[in-house]
Amino acid sequence: MSLMFYSYPSCSTCRKAKKWLEENHFEFKEIHIVNNTPTSNEIKQMHENSSLELKKFFNTSGKKYRELGLKDKLPTATEEELYELLASDGMLIKRPIVTDGEKVTVGFKESEFEGTWIS
Protein backbone atom coordinates (compact mmCIF):
# COMPACT_ATOMS: atom_id res chain seq x y z
CA MET A 1 0.00 0.00 0.00
CA SER A 2 1.47 3.36 -1.01
CA LEU A 3 0.55 6.39 1.03
CA MET A 4 0.59 10.14 0.48
CA PHE A 5 2.36 11.79 3.43
CA TYR A 6 1.74 15.55 3.63
CA SER A 7 4.29 17.00 6.01
CA TYR A 8 6.40 19.98 6.95
CA PRO A 9 10.07 18.97 7.33
CA SER A 10 10.81 21.06 10.44
CA CYS A 11 7.71 19.78 12.25
CA SER A 12 8.69 17.36 15.03
CA THR A 13 5.31 15.60 14.88
CA CYS A 14 5.83 15.00 11.15
CA ARG A 15 9.28 13.55 11.81
CA LYS A 16 7.82 11.16 14.42
CA ALA A 17 5.10 10.07 11.99
CA LYS A 18 7.64 9.57 9.19
CA LYS A 19 9.83 7.47 11.48
CA TRP A 20 6.80 5.34 12.42
CA LEU A 21 5.91 4.78 8.75
CA GLU A 22 9.50 3.82 7.93
CA GLU A 23 9.82 1.48 10.93
CA ASN A 24 6.59 -0.24 9.88
CA HIS A 25 7.81 -0.60 6.28
CA PHE A 26 5.22 1.57 4.58
CA GLU A 27 5.84 2.95 1.12
CA PHE A 28 4.89 6.60 0.96
CA LYS A 29 5.33 9.69 -1.13
CA GLU A 30 6.32 12.65 1.03
CA ILE A 31 4.74 15.93 -0.01
CA HIS A 32 5.86 19.27 1.43
CA ILE A 33 2.53 20.67 2.66
CA VAL A 34 3.61 24.32 2.27
CA ASN A 35 5.32 24.06 -1.14
CA ASN A 36 2.63 21.72 -2.50
CA THR A 37 -0.49 22.59 -0.53
CA PRO A 38 -3.44 20.30 -1.31
CA THR A 39 -6.19 21.92 -3.40
CA SER A 40 -9.59 22.64 -1.93
CA ASN A 41 -10.95 19.61 -3.82
CA GLU A 42 -8.19 17.36 -2.42
CA ILE A 43 -8.90 18.64 1.09
CA LYS A 44 -12.62 18.10 0.59
CA GLN A 45 -11.98 14.51 -0.55
CA MET A 46 -9.72 13.82 2.46
CA HIS A 47 -12.29 15.35 4.80
CA GLU A 48 -15.09 13.23 3.31
CA ASN A 49 -12.94 10.10 3.63
CA SER A 50 -12.16 10.83 7.27
CA SER A 51 -14.55 10.66 10.18
CA LEU A 52 -13.26 14.00 11.42
CA GLU A 53 -14.90 17.38 11.81
CA LEU A 54 -13.50 19.85 9.29
CA LYS A 55 -12.08 22.03 12.07
CA LYS A 56 -9.74 19.11 12.95
CA PHE A 57 -7.89 19.83 9.67
CA PHE A 58 -6.82 23.26 10.98
CA ASN A 59 -3.49 23.80 12.72
CA THR A 60 -5.11 25.65 15.62
CA SER A 61 -1.80 26.12 17.43
CA GLY A 62 -0.17 27.77 14.42
CA LYS A 63 0.87 31.40 14.17
CA LYS A 64 -1.05 31.92 10.92
CA TYR A 65 -4.27 30.58 12.48
CA ARG A 66 -4.00 33.12 15.31
CA GLU A 67 -2.98 36.00 12.99
CA LEU A 68 -6.08 35.47 10.87
CA GLY A 69 -8.35 35.23 13.92
CA LEU A 70 -9.78 31.96 12.64
CA LYS A 71 -11.06 30.83 16.03
CA ASP A 72 -13.85 33.37 15.63
CA LYS A 73 -14.36 32.88 11.89
CA LEU A 74 -14.61 29.07 11.68
CA PRO A 75 -18.04 28.67 13.31
CA THR A 76 -19.80 30.89 10.73
CA ALA A 77 -17.86 29.90 7.59
CA THR A 78 -19.29 27.48 5.05
CA GLU A 79 -17.52 24.20 4.30
CA GLU A 80 -16.51 25.53 0.88
CA GLU A 81 -14.99 28.64 2.47
CA LEU A 82 -13.06 26.45 4.90
CA TYR A 83 -11.74 24.20 2.11
CA GLU A 84 -10.58 27.30 0.21
CA LEU A 85 -8.97 28.73 3.33
CA LEU A 86 -7.06 25.51 4.03
CA ALA A 87 -5.92 25.32 0.40
CA SER A 88 -4.68 28.92 0.52
CA ASP A 89 -1.83 28.23 2.95
CA GLY A 90 -0.26 24.92 3.96
CA MET A 91 0.65 26.39 7.35
CA LEU A 92 -3.06 26.44 8.23
CA ILE A 93 -3.34 22.66 7.84
CA LYS A 94 -2.76 20.31 10.77
CA ARG A 95 0.01 17.96 9.90
CA PRO A 96 0.94 15.40 8.97
CA ILE A 97 -1.90 14.17 6.83
CA VAL A 98 -1.57 10.59 5.64
CA THR A 99 -3.95 9.09 3.09
CA ASP A 100 -4.18 6.12 0.78
CA GLY A 101 -7.05 7.71 -1.14
CA GLU A 102 -9.65 6.06 1.09
CA LYS A 103 -8.48 6.31 4.69
CA VAL A 104 -7.06 9.48 6.26
CA THR A 105 -5.22 10.37 9.45
CA VAL A 106 -4.56 13.95 10.56
CA GLY A 107 -1.79 14.62 13.08
CA PHE A 108 0.16 11.80 14.67
CA LYS A 109 -0.94 9.51 17.45
CA GLU A 110 0.75 6.13 17.34
CA SER A 111 -2.44 4.31 18.42
CA GLU A 112 -4.42 5.96 15.59
CA PHE A 113 -1.74 5.07 13.05
CA GLU A 114 -1.74 1.47 14.24
CA GLY A 115 -5.54 1.28 14.14
CA THR A 116 -5.80 2.88 10.71
CA TRP A 117 -2.74 1.68 8.81
CA ILE A 118 -1.95 -1.74 10.32
CA SER A 119 -5.32 -3.32 10.99
Q: How many domains does the chain have?
A: 1
Q: Which domain holds residue 17?
A: 2-118
Tell me how far apart the alpha carbons of residues 77 and 112 are, in angstroms, rounded to a whole number.
Answer: 29
List, for residues 9-31, the tens digit of each pLDDT value.
999 999 999 999 999 999 999 99
Encode 20-58: b = buried (16+ Cβ within 10 Å), e = exposed: bbeeeebebeebebeeebbebebbbbbbeebeeebeebb
Residue 112: give its domain's CATH number: 3.40.30.10
Reported as a pLDDT band with limits 50, 70 and 90, residue 5 is very high
List, for residues 51-92, the tens digit of each pLDDT value.
899 999 999 999 999 999 999 999 999 999 999 999 999 999
